[in-house]
Structure 1
Amino acid sequence: MSVLLSRPGAVEATGPDAGVASHYGNPSKEQRLLAEGLAVVDLSHRGVVTVTGPDRLSWLHSLTTQHLLGLAPRTSVETLVLSPKGHVEHALHLVDDGETTWLTTEPGAAPAVVAWLDSMRFMLRVEVADVTQGYAVLGEPVAAESVEGEPVAWVDPWPREVGDTFAYGPPESQHPARGRAWRELVVPRDDLEAAVGDRPLAGTWAAEALRVAAWRPRAGVDTDHRTIPHELDWLRTAVHLQKGCYRGQETVARVRNLGRPPRRIVFLDLDGSGHLLPDPGTELVPVEGGRAVGTLTSVARHAEDGPVGLGVVRYGTDVDLVLLAGDVSAAQTPIVLPERPVRRERPSAPRPPGPR
């Protein structure tokens, strides 16, 4: 549990963000301060993993989805750990300081990441450690990479198209998150309060609202055991399409070549006229009735846009279809846009010979 939960007004979050503050008494104000670049978010529940040794980057390059060979010190990248069938298992926020590769993970995921990496070491010169007990993470709306002498920081590349990749959603110039600034600062846990200093604190309520508004997927929240990166437009920041073999690459290449992932992510404007919002995991059903077409994955209250969410629906779901999440209507904005089928005229049968 974070030491910053002792701050006045702190209300602990639930679900995947338990252990840090959801808000400190005024989530709307906190979100505005965060959007203006003035506040900082306690993310000390995130996992922190280090990889050391001369083979660390080439080794991680061979195991994960992003191109890591020759990565310059203090350069941030995002990379995924996939299952053999190409399903997303972990999203790793990675930055190397020239001697150590730092990874931050979703809350509670560090032990599993370390266990899997240890199982893949073989004879390579690498050492993996879960240092979550000694280091904490702060989120701040800054786009600058850290420099030598400063704490290590991971800068989020979203929504930029990184390297040789492909975007299933709009290009960066048309993306709602264009110009977005966000980074994770890794600091010794004992120095957490000093690192915050006199800056105002914002809770995960505010951070999640900005994430959802940016269409930014989150592992363990917008993913399930079947998720492949294409469905969430995650190729744009985390997958290099022309690198060497890694676990799950066959699925990445096959689906990219076919161009049709089984599902796709959508942004949802939720009806806020009621007091309650649906929970993540609620099925998305056409308002006219019928079978569910997907699942609500993220829910947030945005200071300006009101209740919003992300959902994953079947690839062929009509983009104009209004959905229901429980009793709450949800108007969808497609992120991964399905290909519209081309109407082909059926050739007419030849006329039999004879008089007309």
Structure 2
Amino acid sequence: MVAGFSRVPGAVTDERGLLHVGNPFVEQRALAAGDAVTPLGDRRVLAVEGEDRLSWLDSLTSQAVAHLAPGESTELLVLDPQGRIEHAASVLDDGQATWLIADAGDAEALLTWLMRMRFRLRVAPRDAGDEYAVVGGAASALAAVTPAAPAGTPLVWRDPWPNVGPGGHAYALVEPHPGAERDWSEAIVTRAEEERIAEAAARGEIALAGLVAADALRVAAWRPRWSAEVDERSIPHELDWLRTAVHLSKGCYRGQETVAKVHNLGHPPRRLVALSLDGSESLLPAPGASVRDGEDVVGTVTSFAQHFEEGPIALAIVRRSTPVDAPLVVDTEEGPVAAQQEVVVPPDAGATAGVPRLPRLSRRTR
């Protein structure tokens, strides 16, 4: 993908793909308005064919996909036995195959795991990244793109975030949710169509926005991503990912016990917060920067962006016990920067069952 889009005037690329075409702020406005598309070189396509594909994925993952209709969009998580997130993917079925869009850094490991779990079922997972690429943007912007449709159904995944899907649950209490205005879809396109888009953009016929702009809009929408927000301890509750990626009343799957226990009886040990950073001194953090309450390190920055309206913003994971009104500070290479916290996952998230406690019997009443 980098080779084709590097011909676009002003293009700046790296191993992930097209970063920007000269002005990320202008590109953010264009993306938000539905006037530009983003080549998503940091995403990769997997395909799962076979008659048992949907029931098989349903049994393995956090999402109910057994009856996913052609063209319907959702997302799923693969959890370990302790309920920690191992993999994540956007999901779309066309009636003949199920298409998974995963972060590039996760795709190979996800495919390897799927291959190990086939047993004798009629399923055939494969890497489709050499055949297909991914282009993102608002639904109106993707009208300039011809999605692949090998079975007749256009392969366009529509991001369900931040709507609460069937069987899901929302922890963020802010209304309207910051992600409500983000119109985001991802089209799976052939490599030939990808090249056509690059050539049209080089001629000025299609407006492009880079990954920097797309990620800024994601951060502003509090939208978690495997490549940014997930670490070896992450559970879905901490990221408010029960909204779109978890079905709380579906059948058994690996990690379900932890999902149910934390949601019904406990609280997630950490929580996602949105940070508005003091931009007066131009001190910018990097993902992995420490978040402090006074001298106490309470969390870590997972994503950072310069937003065209909100200025410097970030997502961070902090300890559940961190006070919601704490004056937080984020460390940068040049020094600390003040950060105003906005609660995404509240400290009291979970414990939804409200199980009454039985009074203990005293010795006198036994």
Task: Give TM-score scaled by structure 2 length.
Answer: 0.87
- Equivalent-residue separation in structure 1 for 2:348 and 2:16 (angstroms): 42
Output the amino acid matched with 2:29. R
Task: Give the secondary structure class of the aligned counterpart of 1:174.
Answer: coil
| Identical aligned residues as a percent | 50
Take 2:91 and 2:35, find their aligned partners in 1: how far apart are those partners?
A: 25
Contact 1:138/1:185, CA 8 A, preserved across alignment = yes
What is the SS of the residue equivalent to 2:260? helix
Equivalences for 1:280-295 in 2 at 5 Å?
A: 280-286=287-293, 289-295=294-300
Q: Which runs of 4+ in 1 moved over 4 A?
A: 143-150
Given that residues 71 and 153 in structure 2 are in contact (C-alpha distance below 8 angstroms), is that contact kept between their aligned partners in structure 1? no
Q: How do residues 332-343 of structure 1 correspond to structure 2 at under 5 angstroms?
A: 332-339=341-348
Q: Which residue of 2 aligns with 1:267?
A: 274
Aligned-partner SS, 2:243: helix
Report the counterpart of residue 313 of structure 2 in structure 1: 308
Cα distance, 1:45 vs. partner? 3.0
RMSD: 1.9
Counterpart position of 1:232: 239
| 119, 132, 147: which one aligns with 1:122 | 119
Q: Tell me by how many angstroms 1:25 deviates.
A: 0.4
Match of 2:261 in 1: 254
Secondary structure class of the residue paired with 2:296 = coil
Cα distance in structure 2, aligned partners of 1:150 and 1:72: 11
Alignment check: 8 A CA contact 1:45 1:136 kept: no
Amino acid at match of 2:33: E
Structure 2 residue identity aligned to 1:76: S
1:239 & 1:191 partners in 2: Cα distance? Answer: 33
CA distance in 1 between counterparts of 2:38 and 2:266 reads 37
CA distance in 2, matches of 1:129, 1:156: 23
Match of 2:352 in 1: none
Alignment map for 1:1-356 (pairs within 5 Å): 1-2=1-2, 3-13=4-14, 18-142=15-139, 149=152, 151-170=154-173, 174-195=176-197, 197=200, 198-286=205-293, 289-326=294-331, 327-339=336-348
Classify the secondary structure of the residue corresponding to 1:202.
coil
Summarize the Cα distance change of 1:89–1:203 in structure 2 as closer, same or farther, 3 Å threshold.
Answer: same
Measured in 2, the distance between the counterparts of 1:30 and 1:39 equals: 7
Tell me how far apart the structure 2 counterparts of residues 309 and 22 of structure 1 sit (CA, whole Å): 18
1:22: Cα distance to partner? 1.4
Q: 1:153 to 1:195 in 2, by over 3 A?
A: farther
Paired letter, 1:244:
G
Secondary structure of the corresponding residue to residue 205 of structure 1: helix
Amino acid at match of 2:237: H
Structure 2 CA distance, aligned partners of 1:273 and 1:37? 31
8 Å CA contact retained: 1:151, 1:187:
no
Aligned residue for 1:260, secondary structure, equals: coil
Distance in structure 2 (CA, Å) of the matches to 1:276 and 1:40: 30
Aligned equivalents of 1:195 and 1:123: distance in 2?
Answer: 41
Would you say the 8 A contact 1:62–1:244 is kept in 2? Answer: yes
Q: What's 1:345 paired with? A: none
Letter in 1 for 2:170: A
Q: Distance in 2 between matches of 1:279 and 1:151?
A: 38
SS state of the match for residue 111, structure 1? helix
SS state at 1:242 partner: coil
Q: Please say if residues 187 and 195 of structure 1, whose CA atoms lie closer than 8 Å, have aligned partners that are also in contact.
A: no
CA distance in 2, matches of 1:290, 1:175: 32
- The separation in 2 between residues aligned to 1:329 and 1:101, in whole angstroms, is 45
- AA in 1 matched with 2:273: V
Q: Structure 1: 5+ residue runs without aligned partners?
A: 341-356
Which amino acid in structure 2 is aligned with residue 125 of structure 1?
R
Query: Match for 1:306: what amino acid?
Result: G
**Deviation digits for residues 280-315 of structure 1, max 9, x if unmatched?**
1011011xx222011111000001111000000011
Helix, strand or coil at the partner of 1:50: strand
Partners of 2:152 and 2:120 lie apart in 1 by 33
Are the equivalent residues in 2 in contact too, given 1:47–1:132 (CA < 8 A)? Answer: yes
- The size of the alignment, in residue pairs, is 333
- TM-score, with structure 1 as normaliser: 0.89
CA shift at 1:190, angstroms? 2.4
Tell me the CA shift for residue 170 of structure 1: 2.4
Q: Is the 8 A contact 2:228 2:303 kept in 1?
A: yes
Q: Which residue of structure 2 aligns with residue 354 of structure 1?
A: none
> What is the letter of the counterpart of residue 296 of structure 1?
V
